[in-house]
Structure 1
Amino acid sequence: MVLKVLAFLALVSVMVNSQQPAFNDDVLGLIFFKAGLKDPNAKLQSWSSDDNDPCNWTGVKCDPVTYRVTELHLDDLSLSGHVGRGLLRLQFLQALSLSKNNLTGTINSELSHIGSLRVIDLSGNSLSGSIPDKFFAQFGSLKSVSFAGNKLTGHLPGSLSSCSTLVEANFSFNRISGQLPSGIWFLRSLKSLDVFGNLMEGEIHEGIGNLYDLRLINFGNNRFSGKIPGDIGSCLQLKYVDFSDNYLYGTLPDSMRRLVSCRSISLQGNSLSGQVSDWIGELTSLESLDLSANNFSGGIPSSLGNLQLLRELNLSMNLLIGYFPSWISGNELMGSLQVLDLSSNDLYGEIGSKIGVLSSLVFFNMSRNHLFGSIPYSIGELKTTQVIDLSYNLLNGSIPSELGGAVSLKELRLQMNFLSGKIPIQIVNCSSLTVLNLSWNNLSGSIPPATSNLSSLEYVDLSSNDLTGSLPKELANLSLLMFFNVSHNNLHGELPVGGFFNTISASSVSGNPSLCGSVVNRSCPAVHNKPIVLNPNSSDSIGGSFPNHHRKKIVLSISSLIAIGAAAFIVIGVVAITVLNIHVRSSMSSAPVSLALSGGEDFSCSPNNDSNYGKLVMFSGDADFAAGAHALLNKDCELGRGGFGVVYRTILRDGRSVAIKKLTVSSLIKSQDEFEKDVKKLGKVRYHNLVALEGYYWTPSLQLLIYEFVSSGSLYKHLHDPGRSCLSWRQRFHVILGTAKGLAYLHRMNIIHYNLKSTNVLIDCSGEPKVGDFGLARLLPMLDRCVLSSKIQSALGYMAPEFACKTVKITEKSDVYGYGVLVLEVITGKKPVEYMEDDVVVLCDMVRGALEDGRVEECIDGRLRGNFPAEEAIPVIKLGLICASQVPSNRPDMEEVVNILELIQCPSEGQDELE
């Protein structure tokens, strides 16, 4: 404060003694502005109150005739403090740029009094609060504004629409919410609008076509919904379009074919559907096209081969089908392509033999498709490629030695194929290699000793092959190694000593009976008894085998001590869950159920503010119920009860049946805004193996979720109700595969189920499985692990062991565990946990023990009476056990599970249906 007073007195002295008061008005303003700043690097040392004008000061530009300040550029000077009122004296200021500093506080609404401003750049600071509503109202000449990279909240002010001269507006990377100002499409001079990385929502309404000079539109990473505006094609000058990571749906508007000047289109991470139109090849200026993580279907249009300037093509994580595009391989017109990602689709066929013509390729990902045939020799011609990912396909043959020609390679992922032969020694030529994953193939021979010369290696996975020989001792010299897995091979000899191998886990080398060393607790060269190994090709130990073309080995042993501990944990869980359920039900039983439901309107305007009146929203269709609100929660219409609530059946006025879930966790539910946001996201999840969420109802004391009604009941009833007919093997396999696809889709959408069990898998009239109750944990706040597990994992036996460990993160792998238990339940017809007179039987342990003892018949539902193909049943049992592994990292992800099941599945002339 003392310093500010002294500065003020000095300025007064300047004003009194000056002969040029107009010039000193700018000096006065800037010195006042400086007084509110911290300048740790003394960048503003030249600013002196003794000067008659500031025109020679750092960052200051003046009019050469009037010597009045016209521009102030103080970017990236490590300044902190606030934007003070001293700037208001600079009445001729046209450009104010204070970017890349650490300025704090709010945006001063009085800055709008500097009517001459044309450029405002306050980006890259730590400004907070909202932009004042009338901030832009008086800027008659404003052309460029940037508040990007701050901590701003609130809405974009409607006054922005009054800046008729505005050319560029950048509000990206803030926390701005609400909808776009309604008049923004009338700013006909606008060339660039960037709101990326905020919390904005609502539909992007048509009208964008009015902006004939628009060059850039960036609405990515927000919460916008609805469709892409149909008139976007009228913006003929558009060069950059980004609507990524929103909640957009519908097809690509045909008007987009007119965007012939467009260089980049980024639409990934939405729910867009339909086919990728053939007209996409008419956008000949395109350099980048990203349509990944949507629901696009159909084939990949061959017209994409016409895009000679294309450098990035990403169509991954869609529902695309058809052969590997022939126009990719051998198309020299696409020599500029640097990124090619078609992963996670349903493509099949062979990789083109001339793939090497893509001489500029840096990233090549075709994983998680159905490609077959061999890896082409020309892959070695990809001299600039850093990542090659062909994992989770049906590729066979050997790894070509020509691969060593890909000298820039950093990541090679070929896991989960049918590759055979040896690991080529030429791989040592890829000296920059950091990731090498060749697991789950049929590779044989020894590990090339030269592998130890790949000094950049960080991740190596050679597990589940038929590798022989010893591990090169020099591998211990790989100083950057963080992961090394050679489990389930036929390696022998002593493990390397030193470096990473001093701390390697036993699971990373398990399944190699002849390896020795302290890690495997087997001294060298003494021979100890081999652990129990299930060889998929031997029929004498387990009564069946994997298909010969894809052999795997699984170590399946479990101590009785773990079984006793599991039983004790289960009994404790039963008591805890029973107490919690009694508490929840008693606290909810007194809640009144008086609903006012009509249409999708908000009835919170009850004169008494009665919390029993609430908001009903249906995502599509009729919102009225045929029997009226009083029948919604009728006891006679109850379908079942679960950890989250009670489910009832009712009928809409259009005749459709729906299932109503009354949530019994009201005391734990988030706020209405958070609840509605999460429910709406779940409502946009649409997949044929998932139960669709049709709508919701909200009051503070009552929440209802409205689902599609699935007619044939739960999988649990089909398996365990005495009156039901026995499911055939084909029906069971169909349920196992369909459930896997549903879970895989959820995980692609970054949704964890948390509560997978047979009561939450429903069967429709055609026998199709549908996974329900997914994502409901999103509706709860972050809770203590014990509360979360008891609320969500209400069915014992499906709970992954990491729920009992507070230090282990809950991920999609927890769903995989529950899925593994479900697989065993479907095959055996037994419940995950069964209570005998003097014993508790845990299904996973029972199946493991039966397989180890060769009692395979005990692992198959006796009602099938041998009517099942062993070549399918036994691999599926093993897959279920792998999914139910105690260690999360040992479990496959659900995309892997789907691929494995499709490999296991035998051809069938007909599919039985559920009765």
Structure 2
Amino acid sequence: MQFCLFLFLLFAPALVHPLDSVFNDDVLGLIVFKAGLQDPKAKLLTWNEDDDNPCDWVGVKCDPTTNRVSSLVLDGFSLSGHIDQGILRLQFLQILSLSKNNFTRIMNPDLGHLVSLQVVDLSENNLSGAIPVGFFQQCGSLRVISFAKNNLTGKIPDSLSSCWTLAAVNFSSNQLSGRLPSGMWFLRGLQSFDLSDNLLEGEIPAGIGNLYDLREISLHKNHFIGRLPMDIGGCLLLKSLDFSYNLLSGSLPASMQRLASCASLSLQGNAFTGVIPDWIGALKTLEILDLSANRFSGWIPRSIGNLQLLNKLNISMNKFSGSLPESMTNCTKLLALDVSHNQLTGNLPSWIFRLGMQSISLSGSNVSRRNYPSLTSIPPTSYHGLQLLDLSSNAFSGEIPSNIGVLNNLQLLNLSTNNVFGSIPAGIAELKSLHVLDLSDNQLEGSIPSEIQGAVSLKELRLQKNFLTGNIPTEIEKCSHLTSLILSQNNLTGSIHASIANLTGLQYVDLSLNELSGSLPKELTILSHIVFFNVSYNRLQGELPVGGFFNTISPSSVSGNPSLCGSIVNRACPSVHPKPFVLNPNSSDSTGGFSSANHHHKKIILSISALIAIGAAALIALGVVAVTVLNIHARSSMSHSAVPIAFSGGEDFSCSPTNDPNYGKLVMFSGDADFSAGAHNLLNKDSELGRGGFGVVYRTVLHDGRSVVIKKLTISSLIKSQEDFEREVKKLGKIRHQNLVALEGYYSTSSLHLLIYEHVSRGSLYKLLHDEHDRSILSWRQRFNIVLGMAKGLAHLHQMNIIHYNLKSTNVLIDSSGEPKVGDFGLVRLLPVLDHCVLSSKIQSALGYMAPEFACRTVKITEKCDIYGFGILVLEVVTGKRPVEYMEDDVVILCDMVRGALEEGRVEQYVEERLLGNFPAEEAIPVIKLGLICASQVPSNRPDMNEVINILELIQCPSEGQEELE
């Protein structure tokens, strides 16, 4: 009855008493608004139409003078439904905040009727689609608008530029595209402007200097190109500027020295060049300066010491040279310093520990420990706040100070890849807050101290590639948070104690290449989070445990232990002695060519990745059989009845005009939809180009003269519904990048699916590198550009949240200008589920490119799998060798061969022999190292693709043509 009364009052107000005697306009408006909502948590239970006024309702505030609703704040109420016209009755409403709910559509754009409205916040909902064109045409007195953290697409409406009253705009974390509206900078009252984390592109237009009141601007994580606006210094009140992670270039405009109020300047992840100008010291209010991951060069200016309020300085991953200026002793408020991965020289400054910083990173900066004062000479109070100390990949020597425990707040200590010698001090026990200890790749001796148990917060312990001896201390079980235990390539002895099973959070365990003996404890099977476990090349014996992760472990993880037995190593227990599994038939010793005295330098022919790949071969074979059966079925059905085709061109996605399930529909995303040879010749045997894990590939020609490639999918039986198939293909058709093969259209019936791609003239990278008839002599510069182009294409896919899954040289095509294009991406999205069996048998059809985590069913497949395959591709491009080479007696794994050569200092021998030495070693060797890092066995050690691009651009020699070293 109440609802009927409500409708009666709504539609026939003239027939009842005046509203202010029963409902006022605000009560009526809010009740109408509530009627269009779903309120699963009953948050609006107090909203009752029988009330005289709504001022005591939850989320509602009224102006005490007028007793009219002035504020409606319903943040985090889990509401959904329609933001209805009832809101328009709240004529005195000033604040409308509906953030952190589940609304999917933007409210009606008639904001002009709410003449008092100043704040609209619809952030953190599920809004999708485009911002209505007319949303800002009548914006009244609107000052603050936020659509942040939604799923909005399309362009920013030009009408935004006419909303003169706006002071704050936040459209961050959406999928908005296109250019900035040309009149954007005419909003003279704008104080805060945030369009970060979108897909915006083009140049940042000039005129930003008109925003005299601008305090904050963030355009980070977009696709903006070109230079910074030359007039940006006109924003005299600007406090925070963040243009990071775009494609900006050029030098810093001189007008920036006028930003006297700027506290935060973030330009990282772009392609800026030139030097840091001396005027940087004039920005005396700077607290954060981040110029990392660019192409800046030259010396760090002494004027940086004038920034006495600076608390964070990050200039890592550039090309800076020289040493850190002594003037930085004046930066007394500095808390975080990162100058890693530059070309710095000289000694570690003595002042660097006197500033009381929390984070110091000098990784890969070529600084030396010479003249570096010992910790004992510096008052302990200097270290009170130090939480991160990364001095890795430098030229430090000497011992770790015995009083290392004075760094009692340290959370990360990384001294890896230096020349540190001596023993691990017992003072390590005092580091109660330490999460990561990395002393790998040094010359440490002695045993792992039992005092390690004192580091109770330790999560990662990395001591590999040293000369440590003695037992693994049983006390390590006290480090109950440990997730990574990496002790490989040492001289450790004794048994693997069962107490390690108490470390229930362990994910990565590598004890390989030691002298460990005894049996593997059965208690280890309870470790349920294991991702990687390797005890290969020790002196272990006895029966391998059964159960837990041992049921899926790779044979390579336990190889090189001749006395181990069990089904995994193909060796019966205990009395049957079949012919042993010899890893290297050419070796003269019983361990397959591995000698404990020099195991750091032996080439291991059959590696982890090889045996993982071979183990997956059985699944792949099953996939091939399935694909063959599907092909036979498809051909049979086509041979008995021709499939008619309905053509549609351009953006016409209409359904076929017939109900016949065999009637096909051809959709082209652009251009001609007619084939010059006729539809019946689409799958002509004479035009077949090749076959892959997803199907057979043909070439044909459109009437407009364009060559296209037709891929007939052989996974039709696994494909989702027709509706899902078309939706996913249309998404893939919208992806455009110069380093990705463009999807031009598709053809589908209920039993046949064809994808139409652009034709890339020079064919696959595999043919250029390996085919005896097609292989070309690619210059070093061509190879480098191929690697960089592949990285850019893959980075774009990852930015679109697409994992390739099937990266290999046959899926990289080269166009007539030598530009690489990554193909076959996104096809896994056509499958109903991403289980490991499907991924292994249907997708990962090429041995050698598969990341090790594919062998573990419990591991989530991420972009890191693509990065592993990319790393193998890098090595393939540089060396000209296949990922797996089958010799007469051996299986040679490219990744292991190159890694061994690098350790022995002869990696240049493996650069493609046809280059005849005509390549810059200063580029080739870092590229090889990058490939090995990307192909790391541990996913977390692999960089993401944006980092890879930045590293490649840093590696690239500035004088590119000494020049085309052909």
Taking structure 2 as the reference length, the TM-score comes to: 0.66
The residue type equivalent to 2:892 in the other structure is L
* Conservation of the 8 A alpha-carbon contact between 2:84 and 2:107: no
Q: Which residue of 1 aligns with 2:324?
A: 326
3-state SS of the aligned residue for 2:71? strand
Residues 182, 706 of structure 1: CA spacing in aligned structure 2 closer, same or farther, 3 A cutoff?
farther
Report the CA distance shift for 1:804/1:24 in structure 2 as closer, same or farther (over 3 A). closer
Match of 2:893 in 1: 844
Q: Structure 1 residue 491: deviation in Å?
A: 1.8
Match of 1:512 in 2: 514
Kindly state the Cα deviation for residue 287 of structure 1 after the two structures are TM-superposed.
1.4
After alignment, is 440-449 or 670-679 more displaced?
670-679
User: In the alignment, what sits opposite 1:216?
Assistant: 216
CA apart distance, 1:107: 0.8
Contact between 1:479 and 1:499, CA under 8 Å: does it hold in 2? no
2:721 alignment counterpart: none
Aligned match of 2:283: 283
Contact 2:619 2:840 in 1 (8 A): no
What residue number does 2:661 align with? none
Residues 290 and 313, structure 1, Cα contact 8 Å, conserved in 2: yes
* Number of the residue aligned with 1:363: 359
Select between 371-380 and 302-311 the one with higher mean Cα deviation.
Answer: 371-380
CA 1:811 to 1:584, structure 2 compared with 1: closer, same or farther past 3 Å? farther
Contact 1:352 1:376 in 2 (8 A): no
1:144 paired with 2:141, answer no
How many angstroms does 1:19 deviate by?
9.4
Q: How has the CA–CA distance of structure 1 residues 189 and 369 changed in structure 2, closer, same or farther, with 3 Å as cutoff?
A: same
> Residue 422 of structure 2 aligns with which residue?
421
User: Where does 1:148-167 land on structure 2 (aligned, <5 Å)?
Assistant: 148-167=148-167
Which aligned pairs between 1:821-900 and structure 2 lie closer than 5 A? 832-834=884-886, 842-844=891-893
Aligned partners of 1:42 and 1:282: how far apart in 2? 53
Secondary structure of 1:354's aligned partner: helix
Give a deviation string over 1:748-773, Cα, whole Å, max 9, x none.
999799656699899x99xxxx9955
Structure 1 residues 563 and 41 mapped into 2: Cα distance closer, same or farther (>3 Å)? closer
Which secondary structure state, in structure 2, belongs to the residue aligned with residue 109 of structure 1?
coil
- CA-to-aligned-CA distance 1:104-157 (integer Å, 9 cap, x gap): 643123343122323333434444554332222223322222333444444433
Contact 1:391–1:413 (Cα < 8 Å) also in 2: yes
Please name the residue that 1:336 is paired with.
333
Could you tell me how far 1:518 is from its partner in structure 2? 2.1
Q: Do the aligned partners of 2:302 and 2:327 also contact (CA within 8 Å) in 1?
A: no
Aligned to 2:572: none
Identical positions, percent: 38
Name the SS for the 1:322 alignment partner. strand
Question: Per the alignment, in what secondary structure is the counterpart of residue 87 of structure 1?
Answer: helix
CA contact (8 A) 1:95 1:118 kept: yes
The alignment status of 1:51 with 2:103, answered yes or no, reads no
- Superposition pairs of residues 258-277 of structure 1, within 5 angstroms: 258-277=258-277
Specify the code of the residue in structure 2 equivalent to 1:842.
V
TM-fit CA distance, 1:409: 0.8
- Counterpart residue number, 2:641: none
Q: Report the AA paired with residue 432 of structure 2.
A: S
Alpha carbons 1:716, 1:758 under 8 Å: kept: no
2: distance between equivalents of 1:139 and 1:21? 32
How far did residue 170 of structure 1 move? 2.2
Find the counterpart in structure 2 of residue 599 from structure 1.
none
Q: Residue 432 of structure 1 corresponds to which residue in structure 2?
A: 433
Residues 257 and 17 (structure 1 numbering): CA distance in 2 closer, same or farther, change over 3 Å?
A: same
Q: How far apart are residue 334 of structure 1 and its match? A: 1.4
Whole-angstrom CA distance in 1 between matches of 2:726 and 2:51: 64
The equivalent residue for 2:406 is 405
Asked if 1:179 is matched to 2:179, the reply is: yes
CA distance in structure 1 between the aligned counterparts of 2:963 and 2:144, rounded to whole angstroms: 66
Task: Quote the Cα distance in structure 1 between the aligned partners of 2:76 and 2:895.
Answer: 68
CA distance in 1, matches of 2:668, 2:36: 53
> Residues 535-614 of structure 1 correspond to what in structure 2 (within 5 A)?
none
> 1:443 Cα deviation (Å)?
1.0
Matched letter for residue 320 of structure 1: K
**Residue in 2 that maps onto 1:901:** none
Question: CA distance change for structure 1 residues 781 and 514 in 2, over 3 Å: closer, same or farther?
Answer: closer
Moved more, 153-162 or 10-19: 10-19
1:156-195 per-position Cα deviation (integer Å, ceiling 9, x unaligned): 3332222222222222334444433332221212222222
Counterpart in the other structure of 1:491: 492
Comparing 566-575 with 272-281, greater Cα deviation is found at 566-575
Taking the TM superposition and a 5 Å limit, the aligned residue runs for 1:502-901 are 508-519=510-521, 521-522=540-541, 679-680=736-737, 703-704=757-758, 716=770, 755=807, 772-773=820-821, 777=825, 809=861, 811-812=863-864, 832-834=884-886, 842-844=891-893
Per the alignment, residue 79 of structure 2 pairs with 80
Task: Name the CA distance, whole Å, in 2 between partners of 1:673 and 1:95.
Answer: 40
Query: 2: distance between equivalents of 1:62 and 1:102?
Result: 28
Q: Distance in 2 between matches of 1:63 and 1:802?
A: 63
Q: Bigger shift: 28-37 or 497-506?
A: 497-506
Cα 1:881–1:468, aligned 2, differ >3 Å: closer, same or farther? Answer: farther
1:222 Cα offset (Å): 3.2
Q: Secondary structure at the match of 2:367?
A: strand
Once the two structures are superposed, residues 490-542 of structure 1 have per-residue CA deviations (whole angstroms, 9 ceiling, x without a partner) of 22223333354577799622222144342564479xxx9799999xxxx9x99
Q: Are residues 844 and 581 of structure 1, via their aligned partners in 2, closer, same or farther at CA, if it must alter by over 3 Å?
A: farther
Q: What secondary structure is seen at the aligned counterpart in 2 of 1:494?
A: coil
Cross-structure match for 2:351: 354
* CA apart distance, 1:469: 2.0
Any conservation in 1 of the 2:619–2:837 contact (CA below 8 Å)?
A: no
What whole-Å deviation, never above 9, does each CA across 1:427-474 have from its counterpart, x for those lacking one?
222211111121222111111211102111121111221111222222
Q: Quick check: 1:670–1:781 contact (8 Å CA) kept in 2?
A: no
Residue 391 of structure 1: how far off its partner (Å): 2.5
The one-letter code matched in structure 2 to 1:478 is C
Cα offsets for 1:241-273 (capped at 9, x unmatched): 122333434433333232222111222333444
Answer whether contact 2:469 2:490 (CA < 8 A) is retained. Answer: yes
Summarize the Cα distance change of 1:820–1:303 in structure 2 as closer, same or farther, 3 Å threshold.
Answer: same
**CA–CA separation in structure 2 for the residues paired with 1:897 and 1:52:** 61
Alpha-carbon distance in 2 for matches of 1:83, 1:604: 32
* Partner residue in 2 for 1:71: 70
Q: Sort the Cα spacing of 1:178 and 1:823 in 2 relative to 1 into closer, same or farther, 3 A.
A: closer
- Does the residue aligned with 2:268 lie in a helix, a strand or coil? coil
Distance 1:290 1:818 in 2: 29
Deviation for aligned residue 1:204: 2.4
Question: Displacement of 1:678 after TM fit?
Answer: 5.1
State the distance in 2 between where 1:365 and 1:289 align. Answer: 15
- C-alpha deviation, 1:297, in angstroms: 3.8
Kindly state the Cα deviation for residue 32 of structure 1 after the two structures are TM-superposed: 3.7
| Contact 2:174–2:198, Cα closer than 8 Å, also in 1 | yes
What SS does the aligned partner of 2:893 have?
helix
Long gaps (5+) in structure 1: 586-601, 617-639, 649-659, 684-692, 899-910
Matched residue, 1:907:
none
Distance in 1 (alpha carbons) for counterparts of 2:452 and 2:841: 48
Question: Structure 2 vs 1, CA of residues 468 and 744 (structure 1 numbering), >3 Å: closer, same or farther?
Answer: farther
User: In the aligned structure 2, how far is the partner of 1:583 from the partner of 1:376?
Assistant: 76
**Residues 770 and 881 in structure 2, CA contact (< 8 A), matched pair in contact too:** no
Q: Name the structure 2 match of 1:90.
A: 90
What per-residue deviation string (whole Å, max 9, x for no partner) do you get for residues 389-435 of structure 1? 22233332222334322211111222222221111222222211111
2:496 and 2:293 mapped to 1: Cα distance?
A: 43
TM-score between both structures, scaled by the size of structure 1: 0.69
Provide the alpha-carbon RMSD of the alignment.
6.3
CA shift at 1:307, angstroms? 1.4
Residues 50-75 of structure 1, C-alpha deviations (whole Å, 9 max, x = no match) = 436848986322262xx252611424
